[in-house]
Amino acid sequence: MIYLPTRVCFGESVLQRAEDHILRLGARPLIVTGRSSARLSGALDELIVVLERADLDWELFDQVEENPSLDTVLTGSKALRESGCDFLIGIGGGSPIDAAKAISLAAANSLGRDELYQTDRFRTALPVAAIPTTAGTGTEVTQYSVLTDPLSGIKAGFGHDLAFPRLAVCDPRHTLSLDPAVTLNTALDALSHLLEGIYSNQRDPLLYPLIHSGAGAILKHLQSVLEQPQDLAGRTELMRASLFGGITIAQTGTTLQHSLGYPLTTSFGLPHGLSNAVVMRQVLELNYPALKGELDALFAALGLNREGFTAWLGELPISVKLELDDSFIEKSVGEVLASRNMANNPIEISAGQIRDIYRGLKG
């Protein structure tokens, strides 16, 4: 089953062409951003031109940090209620866009700190438009928001149909200002989503053409974009791959790979995409016997075999050595086994297998 309620506008300078769709969402937007990327990417200035031309007032909430916290969502929810805004526009990577989704739900349903993951309390939402400035999460077309609780140190997502953005405005020009590290990490998040679309128990062959095409775009263009950051044609392909990854996980959910990555982000500050990437080979090895046909078909579409894919991964500058101790490993094993993604996993995974993967990252 495929459900995709987001209107997607994709292409160079598409923001101007999306104007009517933005204006239909409401009369006064709260623009939700991180500290600098909305400006650096040029997206905020372009949006302001559109809003001023339509004579719309707007408010700015520009306090979203990487891996947004529950507290930031509550602060944003208060700002939204006080502002009188009637829709939201999230500009940025996954962090500000996920925050915009959660702020909308928190304000519309008067949710408190303990209620942000209680999706049975979600009755309504204010419309959200998403303008991605990274090519990785695909959050512009998903029903997920991933938040971190600073009290417990646990990072976890929720999913609800009311969290789908109403509009996604994807202009690859907005990713030209990404530095090589964020370009690499975010592209590997997209690759992770595409692979997990095959791993997931909710896999759907309808998605395989998107998965094959998206993964192919990353294999073909990532290196050249890292060498030439202004390669707009390559950036366009990476943004398309990210969009396809988002469409995929909106249907299939994520799996063990994302569950393993979250503790690496909360405990060691590893960026989200990198935390998936450092366990990508290990998760592939675990899942391969159960999904040989599907994965071999993917590798064939990429013009490779499994060994060729693993060799490609091995050449990426993603190896990390972390100061992992037993208490981190035991706490994380519990979190991984309890995470909701695990229900999507194609095979039963034991605590021992999770321990071994983490031990392999030890410095």
Burial class (CB in 10 A: 0-12, 13-18, 19+), 127: middle
Q: In angstroms, what is the minimal distance from the CB of 119 to ligand NAP?
A: 14
Q: Which of residues 104-143 bind ligand NAP (CB under 6 A)?
A: 133-134, 136-139, 142
Considering only 92, 234, 263, 346, the residue that binds ligand NAP (CB under 6 A) is: 92
What is the b/e burial string over 47-76, where b = at least 16 CB atoms within 10 angstroms of the residue's CB? beebbeeeeeebbbbbbbebbbbbebbbbb
Closest CB to ligand NAP among residues 156, 351: 156
Q: 194 vs 58, 320, 352, CA distance in Å?
A: 36, 23, 26
Find the binding residues for ligand NAP in span 49-78 (CB under 6 A): 66-67
Binding string, residues 229-268; x marks residues near Fe ion by CB under 5 A: ----------------------------------------
**Which of these, 88, 30, 91, 27, lies nearest to 59 by C-alpha position?**
30
Helix H or strand E encompassing 222:
helix 208-227
Q: How far apart are CA 194 and CA 247, in angstroms?
A: 9
CB of 326 vs ligand NAP, minimal distance in Å: 26
Identify what 83 binds: ligand NAP, Fe ion, none; CB under 5 to 8 Å per kind: none
C-beta closer to ligand NAP: residue 72 or 139: 139
Separation between Cα atoms, residue 287 and residue 304, nearest integer Å: 18
- Give CA–CA dist 349/354, Å, rounded: 7
Among 214, 216, 273, 346, binds ligand NAP (CB under 6 A): 273
> Under DSSP, is residue 60 helix (H, G, I), strand (E, B) or coil?
strand
CB of 34 to ligand NAP, least distance (A): 2
CB of 308 to ligand NAP, least distance (A): 26
Span 135-194, contacts to ligand NAP by CB under 6 A: 136-139, 142, 144-146, 174-175, 177-178, 182, 186, 189
Q: Which of ligand NAP, Fe ion, none lies near 282, with the C-beta cut-off 5 to 8 A by kind?
A: none
Specify the residue for token string 């031309």.
Answer: 53
Alpha helices for 302-347 (secondary structure H)? 306-314, 326-338
Residue from 46, 171, 189, 196 binding Fe ion (CB under 5 A): 189
Residue 92's binding partner among ligand NAP, Fe ion, none (Cβ under 5 to 8 angstroms by kind) is ligand NAP
Element (H, E) at 169: strand 167-170
What is the DSSP secondary structure assignment for residue 162, as one 8-state letter? Answer: G
Give me the residue label for tokens 């049975």.
120
List interacting residues with Fe ion (CB under 5 A): 189
List interacting residues with ligand NAP (CB under 6 A): 34-37, 40-41, 66-67, 92-96, 98, 133-134, 136-139, 142, 144-146, 174-175, 177-178, 182, 186, 189, 272-273
